[in-house]
Structure 1
Amino acid sequence: MSTVNQMLHDLNARTGNLAMKGAETYAPIEPVRINKTAKYIVGTASFAILAIILITQNVSTYKSTIPVNDIAQVNTQIQQPTAQSTATILASDAVPAAVAPTSQAPDIPASATQMQIIPSVDVVTNTSIDEAPFDGYMQVNTSNGEGRFIAGLQDKARLAIQSNNTQSAIQALQALLTAKPYDHASRLLLSRLYFQSNQPDIALNLLQAAPSEDDLSIEFLGFRASLYTEAGEQLNAISDYQVLTRLEPTNVRWQLGIAIAYDQIDAYQDAKFAYEQVKLIGDLPTNIFTFIDERITILKDLI
């Protein structure tokens, strides 16, 4: 046998031995059996993951097509019902928020005071609360000691007023009222001094504290009615003006005072009737007649 043939023979022998050894070492592997339950779980999980991926892609695409402002509006609209329901739970009588006015809001008749500030009767009639004279009604009998004492206080008050010494006049009149609480004339004069001293509340309280409503002068009632109006006590003002209209039925100022007081508290029907009563008096100044006609026209729409 040649050398080459001997080498081929040895190579074949070695290859056959290795094949035998591999056959002995690597035995056939038995196939693994997978449980059906495991297959179901794995399949479901895979489907869920795929679905989440698809949904996320769709949402991202949808948001990218909506402007930022629209997204903010959508978020606000979504949150509002939650806030309202919370408020309802916390407070059963919760008041809904006011709706912002729009340019197409319906026309709603405003009240008389909203449509026009109703002036006082003093403004309409061009009158003012003036200082009352200090003579005539303050005369007293000086034949006894008390009369001389009262007369001395009156003189002191008169001189203080003439010299513009308001504080001394107030002190003298206060002493007069202490000695004569039914002296309505001194009470009225003292009230006027307080009013001129920018103390309208004290002025009104002084007239309200009169111990008797009997025999009150027209000046007393008229001034008190004006103070009631200034203080926003229209019903009390109406009461005094009604007494004044009985005392002076043709006095335009008193009847007009009733109408304006009703008008100021939005008692439309009563105000309209009172204005019509003023027109019945007749011979009204042009400015007052015009004012009354305007108010009646407005009140007709409000009744």
Structure 2
Amino acid sequence: MQAGIERNPDGEVLRLALAKLLVKEKQEASALVPLAYLPSQPSIEYLSLRAALAQKTKQDEIARESYQQLTEKDPNNGRWWLGLAIQQERALQWPAAQHAYQQALNKVGLSSQSQAFIHQRLQLLASLEETQSAN
């Protein structure tokens, strides 16, 4: 598979196949390696697996970049906005995170648990904002 990836670096099929094989082997960090490369026009499947693996392995920059592109490609999916918000919050980009959480609430695809989580995070971010402006 590696030789095929080297011959066609922009090709997603082999990169996805290798990543999925490594996920099955419970090697999430290794599974992210073939997906670290970002093709010029990545598919939603490629970006979503890349984002999930990056988030799971604490590769926050890769995760944030992937979720950002997912929100651009599929803006009505609340899961992508939620993923982006979490990554922005981790990067201390609180106003951006608040916006992304709000976007997530207005989109489809979120469970009631996810919606409750978002409301919780928005309350926390609002209280952090109040604390900062009081100082």
Query: What TM-score, normalized by structure 2, do the two folds share?
Result: 0.81
Query: 1:215 is paired with a residue of what secondary structure?
Result: coil
Change in Cα spacing, 1:265 to 1:197, as seen in structure 2 (3 Å) is same
The equivalent of 2:99 in structure 1 is 273
Query: 2:72 is paired with a residue of what secondary structure?
Result: helix
Give 2:13's match in structure 1, choosing from 179, 185, 198. Answer: 185
Instruction: Name the aligned partner's letter for residue 208 of structure 1.
Output: A
The equivalent of 1:131 in structure 2 is none
8 A contact 2:36–2:62 mirrored in 1: no
Once residues 110 and 11 of structure 2 are traced to their aligned partners in structure 1, the CA distance between those partners, rounded to angstroms, is 36
1:195 aligns with 2:10: no
Instruction: Name the aligned partner's letter for residue 27 of structure 2.
Output: Q
The alignment-based identity, stated in percent, is 32
Instruction: Name the aligned partner's letter for residue 23 of structure 2.
Output: F
The equivalent of 2:121 in structure 1 is 295
Structure 1 gaps of 5+ residues are 1-172
Query: 1:281 is paired with a residue of what secondary structure?
Result: coil
1:233 aligns with 2:59: yes
Once residues 53 and 108 of structure 2 are traced to their aligned partners in structure 1, the CA distance between those partners, rounded to angstroms, is 27
Instruction: Name the aligned partner's letter for residue 257 of structure 1.
Output: G
Once residues 102 and 123 of structure 2 are traced to their aligned partners in structure 1, the CA distance between those partners, rounded to angstroms, is 11
Report Cα offsets for 1:88-137 as digits up to 9, x if no partner: xxxxxxxxxxxxxxxxxxxxxxxxxxxxxxxxxxxxxxxxxxxxxxxxxx
Deviation at 1:302, TM superposition (A): 0.9
The equivalent of 2:46 in structure 1 is 220
Instruction: Name the aligned partner's letter for residue 2 of structure 2.
Output: Q
Once residues 286 and 273 of structure 1 are traced to their aligned partners in structure 2, the CA distance between those partners, rounded to angstroms, is 19
Once residues 123 and 37 of structure 2 are traced to their aligned partners in structure 1, the CA distance between those partners, rounded to angstroms, is 40
Report Cα offsets for 1:201-223 as digits up to 9, x if no partner: 2221211246xx22211100111
Deviation at 1:258, TM superposition (A): 0.5
Change in Cα spacing, 1:282 to 1:200, as seen in structure 2 (3 Å) is closer
1:205 aligns with 2:52: no
Deviation at 1:263, TM superposition (A): 2.3
Give 2:78's match in structure 1, choosing from 229, 248, 252. Answer: 252
Query: What TM-score, normalized by structure 1, do the two folds share?
Result: 0.39
Give 2:4's match in structure 1, choosing from 161, 176, 197. Answer: 176
Once residues 282 and 201 of structure 1 are traced to their aligned partners in structure 2, the CA distance between those partners, rounded to angstroms, is 30
Deviation at 1:259, TM superposition (A): 0.7
Residues 1-303 of structure 1 aligned to structure 2 (within 5 Å): 173-209=1-37, 213-281=39-107, 284-303=110-129
Structure 2 gaps of 5+ residues are 130-135
Query: 2:92 is paired with a residue of what secondary structure?
Result: coil
Once residues 62 and 121 of structure 2 are traced to their aligned partners in structure 1, the CA distance between those partners, rounded to angstroms, is 22
Report Cα offsets for 1:141-173 as digits up to 9, x if no partner: xxxxxxxxxxxxxxxxxxxxxxxxxxxxxxxx3
Deviation at 1:199, TM superposition (A): 2.2
Number of residue equivalences: 129
Query: 2:117 is paired with a residue of what secondary structure?
Result: helix
